[in-house]
Amino acid sequence: MDKFTDFDIDLNFGKMHEDNLRQILESTGSKIEVKTERDIWKSTGNMAMEIEYKGRSSGIKVTKADWWAHVFCFEDEVQMIFLLPVKKVKSILSNIFMNDKAVFINGGDNNNSKIMLVKIKDFANEI
């Protein structure tokens, strides 16, 4: 009788999730919205989520994507990426909002965007 080793189990688990990610990225049916943060997140610890533009819902509130990729760059190099189903991101942001852990600011071109600032650690803790 063959016994699986921990390595075999980990290898199978890893392969399954590699295949899942490949399917997400290669599937023509899945849509991914990508938001990229530049350097400032490193010093503030915040991620920015646009929720309104010129008084109308925008960004995460209206995306038609199935997946949300939040890319964190520092000095033009990717440091980390959150890749989550949009439904999960909305749930996380709702929990953060309900627990008074979000700050809202105006930003973007001519301050036309309403942005929800969320501590990266708070977001990660909700995953």
- Give me the residue spans of the domains in the chain: 1-30, 31-126
CB 65 within 8 A of CB 86: yes
The string of pLDDT tens digits covering residues 65-110 is 999 999 999 999 999 999 999 999 999 999 999 999 999 999 888 9
Amino acid 13: pLDDT:
67
Residue 30 confidence (pLDDT): 81
* Cα Rg of the chain (Å, integer): 18
Residue 100, strand partner residues: none
pTM of the model: 0.81
Picking from 59, 13, 20, the residue whose alpha carbon sits closest to that of residue 36 is 59
**pLDDT of 10-67, one tens digit each?**
667 667 767 777 777 776 678 889 999 999 999 999 999 999 999 999 999 999 999 9
Instruction: Determine the pLDDT at residue 115.
Output: 96
